[in-house]
Structure 1
Amino acid sequence: MTRPLPLLATTLALTLAALAPAPAPAQSANPFAPVILVNDLGITGYEIDQRMKFMTLLRQPGDLRKEAEKGLIEDRLRIGEAKRMGITLNKEGLAQGMAEFASRANLSTEQFLAELAKGGVEAQTFRDFVEAGMLWREVVKQKYAQKVRVSDADIDRALLLETQARGQGTRVLISEIIVPAPPGREAEAMAAAKRASAASGDGSFGALAREISAAPSAERGGRLDWMDLDNLPPQLRPVILGLKPGQASAPLAIPNAVAVFMLRGIDDKGNVKNTPQQLDYARFIAGPAGAPETSALIATLKAGADRCDDLYGLAKGLPAERLLRESGAQGALPADLSLALGAMDIGESTVLQRGANAELVMLCARSALPAEGTEAAKPDRNQVAQNLTNQALNAYADADLADLMAQAVITRK
């Protein structure tokens, strides 16, 4: 499922203003000849080049060619499954999907296509990208919508923040397992995460964390310290509140990994505000994950930086794009960043693998977002039920795509 990127319009504008040519695909006598076959569905060098340019405009990190190939392979699997099920899109539906995506950048479809064209991205590339996502959404809906049942008890648990007298500053005690999911091993990661999701009790969950988790907490059996509920990403709060102590969540897909959480305890005393947060953070792109020089740089950064401003001195002499200072609403951040920052105090840092690179991420500041209007809207049970349904469908979608990837016959020419 494609999520909207924060500040997409600004990102496009800034990127286009100083856009360097995207890396060229592998040379081929005919750029329109297939260079990858996915269950006999071809991917051409031209398509890879176009996807790389599209990703460049969206400022996506990592090895662009590798990520472009991965995205196109997944799209072929989505399209192939839709074809197998007889699912198609009409022109009106596709046009609506393109308009919805463009609107995330506060642009019309025509304006969005014009901005893409400045970076050498063809309209067909954008059309194919949107179509694959829309077809996949319909596939998941037809295959799994009837399997998802949200009970009144589920809704009551999700509404616990607003419907029960519970204390401001409510804290939760959770454990985590983060299973790496590098390209080509998504099915293996999902299978491991499902084992963690089935774990019962802190003992068995902790043993699995030590065995399979890539998070720094693994050596502690995945245990995290008490944290304020408001510090958790908004999308994770109802998941945690829907658990009983000793119960693990369903697998949650995040970039390059699958996460599972277990609730160990909750400390509540009255009404919780459930305040949305603005996070100010820094990302230092250290280099290719696992490389010795990357590990050495990360060690230097951790030893020499106690706050975000310290990173600027350590970045002296490096290209400006290696150190990024960013800010955004917690609920709008990518899932891996939102989860990592949620557990941090100001000045704390952690290392994430994002794409092919390792990044040191540090929390610079945390503040409450200004309230919109005088009173927050009361939760609607129907909307809560829809949110819970979407969470379940997303989990099915991630697992299904991992299964399709594991069964696919992929050849390169």
Structure 2
Amino acid sequence: MHRNDPFVSHSVLRLTPARLAVAAGLLALAGAAVAQDAPQPAPVEAPAPEAGTTVAALNLPQGPTQFLAPDPNVRRATAKVNGDIITDTDISQRVALVVAASDAKIGPEEMGRLRLQVLRNLIDETLQIQEAKAAEIDVDEAEVNQTFARVAQQNFGQNPAALDGYLTKIGSSAASLKRQIRGELAWQRLLRRNVQPFINVSDEEVNESLERLKAAKGTDEYRIGEIFLSATDDTKPAVFENGKKIVEQIKQGGSFVAYARQFSEASTAAVGGDLGWIRLAQLPTELATVAAQLGAGQLAGPVEVPGGFSILYLIDKRQVLTADPRDAVLSLKQITLTFPKGSTQASATPKVVEFSRGVKAIKGCGDAEAAATALGATVVGNDNIKVRDLPGPLQEAMLKLSLGETTPPFGSVEEGVRVLMLCGRDDPQAGAGPSFDELMSQMEDERVNKRAQTYLRDLRRDAVIEYN
């Protein structure tokens, strides 16, 4: 997913390592996508159970009351999964990863719900590692350390010690993240051995899809993130409420990718819920109807689908086999004016007006450094910025600029005021679309994902789990 990373500062050319470490790149090796305001479906009221259903067969009272009051001194925060122990520390350290990836404050009630969900995730992770081990699939320590080092490099540009120190600082640990890495590698390897060989996509199916793709040239396709929460008839109301809480946390600043990693029960959880570029016809009708109403950066859900609920995030949108102006690669110079500590809006405004006039007088990018120095400003350049990677409001502004022109000033007294100057633009070529092999791989992945969900459900059903 190209993903518009919300942890890229609006200065565009400056990245903050500490915030990048918190970003979904920490929890998924690709970047994050954060949801903005989106229309939400009206809450679904759970229907009364019909005669003959699983719930009705249990003959449950409509208003059950607890017979014995819970003992506040008894905590069920740890578990044994087929003999392997999950400790309270394991849960706390994994929760810390989710909390660190969210700008939102998490209240006591939500924290309790989050801990329960993390425990469920750790149980699934344990089952996956156990199943891989039973199949004599082992992920050695060197491979885990190599992946950990890659996370450190991508998010810190430093050695693993920097990431280790950061994890300790937020209340997590390198061991917790490495266990998650080990679980994902083991599960992926197991699926490649036990599921993928039995997935069959014929050449005819792929060729038919390619023909449909060519026929759809110019129509819209979508890059979508999904968090899937499985539910039975009995658990639907509780799962729906949990989904609403997840949506609220993401809307308040949480990382969609981080929540997808920790909550989604689809195999795409490993890549932050990213479904890749798809057309709406490839989605279930329930999801296609909702996705069609979303704009890039919007969130919707939970939406009821067969087997549970989905939360959707529209990462991006484009037209099939058509060049998208937002794929243009720009050469930019960012000119920044900063203010002394303690400056007020009133004292900064005259300086910004003077700065704006001075910027308009700059004679192209070759004159930028000298002119900026005279204005008391600084210049940073970058020759490899895609339009679609810029914050939304700047995308439209940049597409309207000619070489040497600048955006209107943006920023704040605290962070400084900036303009972007366009120094070059390489326009995109019309895409040829996916190759035969790429499309076959995508179709195989979709079928593996469905089988993987069934595989994990079977492991849960057969597990012996003891709670302490």
TM-score (norm 1): 0.50
- TM alignment of 1:154-233, pairs within 5 A: 154-160=205-211, 162=213, 164-166=214-216, 168-169=218-219, 229-230=220-221, 232-233=222-223
The equivalent position to 1:13 in structure 2, one of 7, 18, 28, is: 18
For the pair 1:120 / 2:135, whether they are aligned, the reply is no
Q: Deviations over 1:223-251 (max 9, x none)?
A: xxxxxx42x4469xxxxxxxxxxxxxxxx
Specify whether residues 124 and 9 from structure 1 end up closer, same or farther in structure 2 by C-alpha distance, changes over 3 A only. Answer: farther
For the pair 1:352 / 2:320, whether they are aligned, the reply is no
Identity, in percent, stands at: 18
CA shift for structure 1 position 89: 1.5
**Does the aligned pair in 2 maintain the 1:9–1:106 contact within 8 Å?**
no
**Does the aligned pair in 2 maintain the 1:352–1:359 contact within 8 Å?**
yes
The equivalent position to 1:64 in structure 2, one of 114, 119, 129, is: 114
- TM alignment of 1:308-327, pairs within 5 A: 323=252
Larger radius of gyration: 2
CA shift for structure 1 position 400: 0.6
CA shift for structure 1 position 134: 0.4
Aligned residues: 265
CA shift for structure 1 position 113: 3.0
CA shift for structure 1 position 353: 7.4
The equivalent position to 1:54 in structure 2, one of 93, 97, 100, is: 97
Alignment match, 1:186: none
Once residues 130 and 323 of structure 1 are traced to their aligned partners in structure 2, the CA distance between those partners, rounded to angstroms, is: 27
Gaps of 5+ in 1: 18-25, 170-228, 236-252, 259-286, 299-318
Alignment match, 1:375: 429
| SS of alignment partner, residue 370 of structure 1 | helix
TM-score (norm 2): 0.45
**Does the aligned pair in 1 maintain the 2:81–2:127 contact within 8 Å?**
yes
CA shift for structure 1 position 405: 1.0
Gaps of 5+ in 2: 9-15, 23-71, 232-237, 258-267, 279-286, 319-323, 329-426
Q: Deviations over 1:165-205 (max 9, x none)?
A: 44534xxxxxxxxxxxxxxxxxxxxxxxxxxxxxxxxxxxx
CA shift for structure 1 position 412: 0.7
Task: State the Cα RMSD in Å.
Answer: 5.1
Alignment match, 2:388: none
Specify whether residues 381 and 27 from structure 1 end up closer, same or farther in structure 2 by C-alpha distance, changes over 3 A only. Answer: farther
- TM alignment of 1:5-404, pairs within 5 A: 7=5, 13-14=18-19, 35-59=78-102, 63-102=113-152, 105=155, 107-108=157-158, 110=160, 111-160=162-211, 162=213, 164-166=214-216, 168-169=218-219, 229-230=220-221, 232-233=222-223, 254-257=227-230, 290=241, 323=252, 334=273, 339=287, 342-344=291-293, 351-352=301-302, 370-372=326-328, 373-378=427-432, 379-404=434-459
Once residues 129 and 123 of structure 1 are traced to their aligned partners in structure 2, the CA distance between those partners, rounded to angstroms, is: 10
CA shift for structure 1 position 321: 8.1
Once residues 117 and 73 of structure 1 are traced to their aligned partners in structure 2, the CA distance between those partners, rounded to angstroms, is: 23
Q: Deviations over 1:60-89 (max 9, x none)?
A: 986320121011101110111011111111
Q: Name whichever of 149-158 and 67-76 sits farther off.
A: 149-158
Once residues 365 and 387 of structure 1 are traced to their aligned partners in structure 2, the CA distance between those partners, rounded to angstroms, is: 19
Query: Counterpart amino acid of 1:7?
Result: D
Query: Counterpart amino acid of 1:370?
Result: R
Once residues 6 and 299 of structure 2 are traced to their aligned partners in structure 1, the CA distance between those partners, rounded to angstroms, is: 26
Specify whether residues 6 and 142 from structure 1 end up closer, same or farther in structure 2 by C-alpha distance, changes over 3 A only. Answer: farther
CA shift for structure 1 position 46: 0.9
Q: Deviations over 1:68-122 (max 9, x none)?
A: 1011101110111011111111233222332444566464562433332321211
**Does the aligned pair in 2 maintain the 1:144–1:396 contact within 8 Å?**
yes
